[in-house]
Structure 1
C-alpha cells in the first residue's frame, strides 16, 4: 500500500473556511520535540473508502521549512511502524499542540449553523440570503437560496440542509461583511454579482405565511 503526505496548504485553498491549517504564528513557534499531525494518504482508495490516517509525528530536526520527525502513532493499516522517521515540509502540517490565535475565527466557521437549500450545495452558488431570529443552539438564523428553487421545492423541508457557515463561505466569502447584521434582514445578488439589502422585503408575509 503506497502512501504520501497530503499537502494541507492545497487542501486549505480548496476549502479555506472548513479545512483548518495552523496559522503562521503557530508554525513559527515549532521546535524540536514538538508534536505535529500529518495526513498520511494512500495512493489508491481501499474498497471500503479508506484513504489513510491523520497521525502525530514528533519533530527531530528542523531546517527552515523542512522537518524530520518520528511517527508517534501505531498505524491501523499503513505499512509503516511506530518510530518511523518521516521527512516533511511546513505544507504538510495539519495540526500542532499550540493554541492558535485564530481559534475563535475557526470556531465561528464551524459552530455557526445556517440553513441552505440542497440546490445551493449542488450548484455551488446562491443569490438570496435572509436572517431570521435564531431557532435552537448554534443556529445563526441565516438561510441561503440559489434563486432557482420554485414554490414546490421550497415547501418541502427535505430540500434543506443545516450546515456550518464555513460551507457557505467556501462558495462565496463576499458575504462576510453582512454576517453580523442583526435579524431581520434579507439580501439578493444584483446584476453585477454583488449582494444588496432588500429594503422592502415582505417580512409580514414571511413570518406569517
Structure 2
C-alpha cells in the first residue's frame, strides 16, 4: 500500500474556513523533540473507503522548513511502524502540541452552528439569511437559504441541516461583515451580488407564522 503526505495548504485553500492550519507563530516555535501531526494518505482508496490517517511524528532534525522525524503512533493500516523515520516539510504539518493564538478564530468557524437548507449545500450558493434568537449554546441563530426554496420545501424540516458557519463561509465570506450582528436581522443578496439589510422584514409573520 503506497502513501504520501498531504499538503495542508492545498487543503486549506479548498476549504479555508473548515480546514485548520497552524499559524506561523506556532510553526516558528518548532524544535527537535516536538510532536507534530501529519496526514498520511494512500495513493488509492481502499474498498471500504479507507484513505489514510493522521498520526503524530516526533521531530529529530530540522533544516529550515524541512524536517525529519520518528513516527510516534501505531498505524491503523498503513505499512509503517512506530519509530519509522519520516521526512516532511512545513506544508505537511496539520497540528502541533502548542496552543495556537489563532485558535479563537477557528473555534468560531467550527463551533458556531447555522441552519441551512439542503438546496444551499447542493448549489453552494445562498441569497437570503436571517438571524433569530439562538436556541442553545452553540446555535448562532442564523438560518440560510438559497432563495429558490418554495413554501412546500420550507415547511419540510427534512430539507434542512445544522452545520458549522465555516461550511457557509467556504462558499462566500463577505458575510463576515455582519455575521456578528445581534438578532433580529435579515439580509438578502442584491442585483450587484452583495448583501443588504432588510429593514422592514416581517418579523411578526416569521415568528408567529
Would you call these one fold, judging by a TM-score over 0.5?
yes
Aligned position for 1:89: 89
Q: Distance in 1 between matches of 2:61 and 2:29?
A: 14
- In the TM superposition, residue 137 of structure 1 has moved relative to its aligned partner by 2.6
Say what the alpha-carbon RMSD is for the aligned residues. Answer: 0.6
Moved over 6 A (4+): none
Q: Deviations over 1:101-125 (max 9, x none)?
A: 0111111111111000000000000
The correspondence of residues 176-191 of structure 1 with structure 2, limited to 5 A, is: 176-191=176-191
- In the TM superposition, residue 203 of structure 1 has moved relative to its aligned partner by 0.7
- In the TM superposition, residue 78 of structure 1 has moved relative to its aligned partner by 0.5
Q: Distance in 2 between matches of 1:105 and 1:63?
A: 30
- In the TM superposition, residue 7 of structure 1 has moved relative to its aligned partner by 0.5
Q: Distance in 1 between matches of 2:172 and 2:50?
A: 31
The correspondence of residues 1-150 of structure 1 with structure 2, limited to 5 A, is: 1-150=1-150
The correspondence of residues 149-160 of structure 1 with structure 2, limited to 5 A, is: 149-160=149-160
Q: Distance in 1 between matches of 2:141 and 2:54?
A: 34
Aligned length: 209
Q: Distance in 2 between matches of 1:49 and 1:148?
A: 34
- Return the TM-score normalized by structure 1: 0.99
Q: Deviations over 1:24-45 (max 9, x none)?
A: 1100110111000000000001
- Return the TM-score normalized by structure 2: 0.99
- In the TM superposition, residue 205 of structure 1 has moved relative to its aligned partner by 0.6
- In the TM superposition, residue 95 of structure 1 has moved relative to its aligned partner by 0.4
Q: Distance in 2 between matches of 1:135 and 1:36?
A: 37
Q: Distance in 2 between matches of 1:155 and 1:15?
A: 31
Structure 2: give runs of 5+ residues left out of the alignment.
Answer: none
Q: Deviations over 1:182-205 (max 9, x none)?
A: 000000010111000011111111
Q: Distance in 2 between matches of 1:149 and 1:102?
A: 37
The correspondence of residues 196-207 of structure 1 with structure 2, limited to 5 A, is: 196-207=196-207
Aligned position for 1:193: 193
- In the TM superposition, residue 136 of structure 1 has moved relative to its aligned partner by 1.9
